[in-house]
A and B are shown apart, each in its own frame.
Chain A
Amino acid sequence: MAVDESGQAFTHPLYNVMAQLPGVSLGLTTADQLLTWGASNSLFVFPMATSCCGIEFMAAACGRFDLDQMGTIARGTPRQCDVMVIAGTITVKMAPRVKKLWDQMPEPKWAIAMGSCAISGDFYRDIYSVVPGVDTFMPVDVYVPGCPPNPDQLFAGMRRLQEKIRMRRNGEWTEPELRPETFGFKSPNLPRIGDPRREASLDEAQLDAVINLDPGGGLRRPDPKGSL
C-alpha cells in the first residue's frame, strides 16, 4: 500500500498465497527480500503527462538522461505499471480520470507528483478549473518540485522512492514527505490526506462535485440515446 499515513508495512499479494502453504513461512523472509529488490529496481512508470512536465518526462526517458538505466520504462497502460508520475496541471475535468487510472493500477503502487502544478497547483491554484495539488484526491509518495523540474531532479525523486521501498521492507520508519509549499504563507484550500481535520466524506464529496460539473464525463451514466 502506498499511503504513508496508514503506517502499514509494505505487502505484496503473493504473501497471502505463500503464508497459507505449510512450511513456507520460514522462506518468506528471503522471498520478501527478493520481491523488494525486484520491486525497487524495476519500477515501471505510467506517465500521467498532461502538460509541460510531460515534455521533461519525455526528455528524461530519452537519450541523454536515459530513465531505463534504473529499470524504469514508461508504459501506456496502467495495468502494467507500478508508479504513476503525475506530470503537469490536473484540472477539475481531468481529476476523475486520474483517480480512475490510479484505481486501475495493481497493488503495490506508488505515486510521484512531478512539478509544482501537480504538487500544489502553483500559480493556477486559485483558478476555478484547477485542482490545488493532486494529494487532495489521491495519495502521493514523493514530491519532485520545480517548474518544470529538470530530468536530474526526477531521477532524484525516483531514487528517493526506491529508498522508501527498501526502508519499508526493513521495517524502518519513513518520514511522510512534506509537501513543498509554493507560497509558504498560504494554507492549502483543502486539508491534505492524513490531516486530522480532513473528513472521510470530503474525498467522495469532492469527486461527486467534480463529476457533476463535467458535461461529457466518462464516469457519468451513459445517455441511452447516445447523444452528444
Chain B
Amino acid sequence: MDPENYDPEGDLMILNLGPQHPSTHGVFRVKLWLDGEVCIKAVPYPGYLHRGVEKLCEKLSYVMITPIVDKNDYVSPFINELAINMAFEALNAVETPRRANYLRTLGAEMQRVGSHLLWLGTFGLDMGGALGGGASVFMHCFRERELILDCFELWTGSRFHYNTLTVGGNRHDVPAGFAELVRQTYTLIGQRADEYDAMLVDNAIFRARTKGVGTVDAKLAMELGVSGPILRASGIDWDLRRDRPYAAYNEVKLDVPVRYEGDCFARYEVRMAELRESIRIVLDLIDGIPEGPICALKPVKLPGAYKGKVGQAYAAVEGPRGELGTWVIADGTDKPYRCKIRPPSYHAVSLIPYLAPGNNVSDIVVTLGSLDPILGEVDR
C-alpha cells in the first residue's frame, strides 16, 4: 500500500501517538499510518518542548549558563553541566585540579546509575501488564533512585538541577561521611540490580516482547549519528570515556559492554551491564579521591566578571544516552557568541521512521522506550 496516495475512506488509518501519551516519555508525537495494527509508515514530530536554550545561552554569561543546561536532559543534569563546562574550559585553556576531575568522574557515574534506573523503570512501565502489573519494576527502580538523589542532595543541596560545576572546577566539595553513604547506597543498588535483572530476564513475556523487536542495523545507526548504548547494542565498540578520555577517566579501569543483536533486548543488556559497570567505578573511586583544591579559578562575585577568550571549542562527554557535545564560539565578551548543543536523544528518535514500519503499535511503544529519548534534550 502506498502511504503517499492513500484513500481516507479505505484501509489505512492515521494514528497520532502523542504528544500527551504516557509511553512517549514526555511530549513527543509520532504520526503512524496503520494497516490493521501493522504500521506502514511513521513520521516523528519533535518540538513540543522547544525552550530556546541555545538562544538563551547567547544572552547569559558563562557562569550563568550551567543551571540552564541542567534542564536539557533532566534525568542526568550532572553530565550536562560537565559537557558545557568542559567546552568553556577547552575554550579558555583552563586546567581543572585533579580532585575536581575525580569528583566529576564520581558524580557522572553516580548520575549514570540514576539515569539507567529511571530508564529501567519506565521501560518496565511501557511493557504494561506483561510484567505482573507493570508498575512493580517502576516502583522498585524509583525506590533506588531516591537513595541516589539523597547522596546528591547531601553533596550539592539539591535533588536534581545541582548547579554544582563551574568553569575551572566544582562549587561544592563532598561533605564528611559522604564516602560511607555512597558505598552503602551503591552496594545495595548493585545487589538489587541483580534481582531486577533476574526478574525481567527470567520472564518469558519480557523476552518475547523484546527479542527481535526494533532491530537497529549498525550501518544505519552510524549514518544517523546515533551513539551510546544503542550503538553499542548494534555491535560498534565506541565509548568516549575510553576512546577520548576526559576528567579522570584515563585513570579508571573501564570495561565497555557490547552486544551484536541490535534489538530491544540487546539494548536492555547493554544498559544493565553499564549500570553494573558504573556501580563498580563508583565503588572503586570513592576511596581514592585525591586531596587538593576543587576549583582552579577564584570564584567570581559578579556574573559578568568572567571574560572568555576569542575562539571556538568542542567538548563531548559520554552521557547515559550517548555523545553529548557542546560547541562554543566566543567573541571575547562575558557571553558566548554561539552555543550549539549536540544531544544524543535527537539522533536516537531519528531512528523511528526506520524502526516502526512492519511492527505492531505495542511493539513501537517498546521500541520507543528502549531508545530512551529525553524530550527536553531532543527539542532543547
Q: Mark A76-99, 1 if CB is under 8 A from B, else 0.
A: 100000000000110101100100
Chain A stretch 62-82: residues in CB contact (< 8 A) with chain B:
62-64, 76
In the assembly, what is the distance between CA of A224 and CA of B45, in Å? 20
Taking chain B's interface residues, is the majority helix, strand, or loop, or is none over half, making it mixed? mixed
B161: which A residues are within 8 A, CB to CB? 52, 147-148
Query: Closest CB of chain B to A150's CB: distance in Å?
Result: 7
A50 interface hit (Cβ, 8 Å): yes
Q: Mark B1-40, 1 if CB is under 8 A from A, else 0.
A: 0000010100000101001111000110101000000000
In the assembly, what is the distance between CA of A39 and CA of B47, in Å? 36
In the assembly, what is the distance between CA of A56 and CA of B27, in Å? 16
A185 interface hit (Cβ, 8 Å): no
A218: which B residues are within 8 A, CB to CB? 16
A58: which B residues are within 8 A, CB to CB? 142
Q: Quick check: B20 and A97 within 8 Å, CB to CB?
A: yes
Query: Closest CB of chain A to B181's CB: distance in Å?
Result: 16
In the assembly, what is the distance between CA of A148 and CA of B159, in Å? 9
Query: Closest CB of chain A to B61's CB: distance in Å?
Result: 13
Number of A-B contacts (CB under 8 A): 92
A101 interface hit (Cβ, 8 Å): yes
B322 interface hit (Cβ, 8 Å): no
B226: which A residues are within 8 A, CB to CB? none
Q: Mark A18-57, 1 if CB is under 8 A from B, else 0.
A: 0000000000000000000000000000001111101110
Q: Quick check: B19 and A97 within 8 Å, CB to CB?
A: yes
Q: Quick check: A52 and B52 within 8 Å, CB to CB?
A: no
Chain A contacts to B: CB under 8 angstroms: 48-52, 54-56, 58-59, 62-64, 76, 88-89, 91, 93-94, 97, 101, 123-124, 127-130, 147-148, 150, 216, 218, 224, 226, 228
Chain B contacts to A: CB under 8 angstroms: 6, 8, 14, 16, 19-22, 26-27, 29, 31, 43, 45, 47-52, 55-56, 68, 71, 74-75, 118, 138-140, 142-143, 145-146, 149, 159-161, 375-376
15 extra interface residue pairs, beta carbon distance < 8 Å, beyond A50-B27, A64-B142: A51-B26, A52-B74, A63-B140, A63-B143, A76-B21, A89-B49, A91-B51, A93-B47, A94-B19, A97-B20, A123-B68, A129-B51, A147-B161, A150-B159, A216-B29
